[in-house]
Structures are given as C-alpha cells and as structure tokens.
C-alpha cells in the first residue's frame, strides 16, 4: 500500500492532522490507457510503450502520435463557419444548451441549496494566449470572481502551479487547486464557509516532487533545440507547450519528450490544447479535487449542496463526470465547437463565463433582498 498525505493545518494551534489516503500499488502505477482524440480541443492519454522507436514500426507510432496532436490542436480556425459546422453546433447545443439562455433553469434547480463554484483558469477565466506566462485575466473578470466568492465558496481548479494561478488571480478568499488538483490550499483568512480559521492543504503526489523536478531539467535540456517549445514546471506536473512550435517540428519534439519520459514509467503523459501534460500515475485528478473540497466544506454526503464546475479542457471532464455521478449540480463546458463532454451546459468563451458569474451574483442579491422583504 502507498500512503498519500492530506494535511489540514490550524494556524492558531499549529496542530496538523494527517489523513492517510491509501491506494493499492496496482492502481497507483497502472499503465495509462490510450484514448483516440475524437474532437478538437480534446486530450488523449499516451502509453509511452507505444512511443518506443526502433525500426519503421516505432517511427510509425510516433507519426500516429503527431497526427493526434494535429487532430486535437487545430492550427487553423475557419473565419466563416460552413453550413455543416453551423448545423453541427446547433445539434450539439440541443444537448448542451447555453448556460446564459437557460440561466433560470439552473437557478431553479439550485433553490434551497448551497452553490459551490469551481472554475478552471486558462480558457475559462482568461483567454488562451500564445505565451502561457501572459494569460492574464481582465480586471472585470477578477471583479466578477470576487463578487461570486462573497456569496458562494469558490475554487480555482487548474493544471497550472497553484502559486502561479494565485499570482494571476490575486484573490486570497478563494480555494486554489493547482497541478490538476494535486496541490490544494484554502483561504488563509476570511473563511466564512467553514468553522474555525483553518488553511487546508492537500498534496497527494508530494513524493513525486524530486522526480518531477528531475524530469523538468531534462526536458529543458532536451527541447532547447526546438524553437518555440516551452516547458512549464507546475510543481506536481509538467507542461510542454507546442503552441508556438512549427508544425513540421512536432515529430522532433515528440521524440525529444519520449526520450526523457521513457526513463520514468511512474509518470504518464496526456495531451491537451497544444500542450503535452506530464503527471504522476496516481489516481487523482480534478474530479478528486472537487470531491475533496466538497468534503472539506462539509458537503461530502449532503443533499443541500449544488456544485457548478466551469471549464474548457478535457482535464475538466473528470470533474464533470463526478457531478453527473453524484447527481448534484452541473458542469458547464467552455467551447465554441461541438465536442464530446459530460457537461450539461455550455458557454462559448471567457466573456460569456464572466456574464454568467455576474448573473449569478445578481440573482443571489435579489434572492437575499426578497427574503428580507418577506420577513418584514
């Protein structure tokens, strides 16, 4: 058995409570199962064994991987959608309607329950940009998130390093789950949603830190010959961005990453929107982070909670699936294109996310005012 430590600390008493979460060795190091990319913007889990070269067969496998990179990261977006594209989007939105147009339907379902907000960062609160270090959120978006946090427990759940996401958002009253949920911290002060003044900390992959740092340095060295490639250290996971890499160099970049990761079977590789994500093989993702935070807030087995998760990436699907399985709350996918998703509703871009958050705040304020008038 392998123990993952989840520590909840109380700064007043300096008492730490360790909760051991046991995971069997068989699941802890289980090989990743490859999933074919079916829609733009998706990600696949890639088995490193299938990337081993050696002969024409190996080269063919790497070529197939590069094909999947192209399929999930389209380089050109049509300026004018075709009739078939429009029809496909309309059909898709019948199953995933706009969260703005169906706002009343969402709030009616949440009546009498505590809404808890979960928000991805890149592509949700900020636009996707060429340089990931420049993915700043607007002042208007920050104000909208701050207002939401006044009325509902709110968490940012991102693949980014938790500290980096905090530097982007700059709101101390939020919960932050970085590294795809493998690094979670609660508000240091002003926590009105839980008794006491605790700052919770969950780091289920802490034993992988030396390995992640080692691989980060190796990838920096290996990929420096590829113009535009950027390796980002997200503490408990790594991102190899190829958004600025010429498409003809993707094969070389894939081979460079393979050569490094071939030496680390305890790490797995997934593919996102022009990014390769490298993380530990433990069974922990954004869905687990959502469940951990709900439990920390006292809603583990409660019928009085209504989680809303908004995200744009395939890694957010783990959280969407948790909500569907719980039968509580809704997932909202941020996408301009039809895609396979477990989310119930959709928004097209960060601007719509901001409008949805503003509507939610206005609805809550009116509800509170109506309650005051009713009492008098």
List CB contacts of 217: < 8 A, sequence separation 6 or more. none
Which one is catalytic: 10, 67, 85, 120? 120
* Closest to 180 measured CA to CA, from 159, 164, 166, 162: 159
Nearest Cα residue to 164 out of 215, 127, 130, 122: 122
CA-closest candidate to residue 362, choices 106, 144, 114:
144
CA 308 – CA 344 distance, rounded (Å): 10
Contact call for residues 200 and 186 (beta carbons, < 8 A): yes
Q: Which residues contact 359 (CB under 8 A, 6 or more apart)?
A: 100, 103
Quick one: CA torsion of 116, 121, 124, 126, rounded to 10 degrees? Answer: 130
| CA pair distance 236, 177, nearest whole angstrom | 11
- The answer to whether residues 241 and 232 touch, using CB atoms and an 8 Å cutoff, is yes
Q: Please confirm, yes or no, whether 120 is among the known catalytic residues.
A: yes
User: How far separated are the first and last CA of the chain, in Å rounded?
Assistant: 59
Tokens of 158: 């991102």
Active-site residues: which are they?
120
């Amino acid at each position: 058995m392998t123990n993952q430590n989840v520590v909840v600390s109380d700064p007043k008493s300096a008492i730490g409570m360790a909760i051991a979460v046991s995971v069997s060795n068989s699941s802890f190091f289980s090989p990743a199962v490859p999933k074919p990319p079916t829609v733009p913007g998706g990600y696949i889990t890639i088995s490193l064994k299938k990337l081993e070269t050696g002969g024409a067969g190996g080269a063919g496998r790497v070529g197939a991987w590069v094909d999947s990179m192209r399929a999930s990261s389209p380089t050109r977006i049509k300026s004018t959608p075709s009739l078939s594209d429009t029809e496909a989007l309309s059909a898709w939105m019948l199953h995933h309607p706009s969260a703005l147009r169906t706002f009343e339907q969402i709030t009616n379902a949440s009546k009498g329950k505590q809404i808890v907000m979960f928000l991805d960062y890149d592509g949700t609160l900020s636009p996707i940009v060429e340089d990931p270090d420049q993915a700043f959120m607007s002042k208007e978006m920050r104000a909208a998130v701050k207002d939401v946090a006044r009325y509902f427990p709110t968490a940012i759940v991102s693949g980014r390093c938790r500290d980096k996401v905090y530097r982007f958002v700059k709101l101390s009253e939020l919960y932050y789950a970085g590294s795809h949920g493998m690094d979670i911290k609660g508000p240091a002060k002003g926590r009105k949603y839980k008794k006491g003044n605790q700052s919770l900390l969950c780091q289920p992959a802490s034993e992988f830190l030396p390995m992640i740092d080692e691989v980060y340095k190796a990838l920096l060295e290996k990929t420096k010959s590829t113009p535009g490639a950027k390796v980002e250290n997200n503490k408990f996971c790594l991102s190899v961005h190829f958004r600025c890499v010429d498409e003809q160099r993707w094969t070389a970049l894939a081979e460079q990453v393979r050569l490094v990761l071939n030496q680390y079977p305890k790490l797995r590789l997934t593919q996102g929107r022009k990014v390769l994500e490298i993380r530990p093989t433990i069974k922990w993702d954004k869905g687990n982070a959502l469940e951990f935070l709900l439990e920390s807030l006292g809603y583990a087995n409660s019928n009085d909670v209504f989680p809303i998760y908004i995200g744009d990436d395939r890694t957010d699907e783990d959280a969407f699936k948790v909500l569907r399985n719980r039968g509580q709350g809704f997932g909202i996918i941020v996408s301009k294109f039809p895609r396979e998703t477990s989310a119930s509703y959709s928004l097209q871009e960060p601007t719509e996310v901001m409008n949805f958050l503003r509507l939610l705040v206005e609805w809550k304020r009116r509800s509170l005012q109506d309650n005051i008038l009713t009492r008098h």
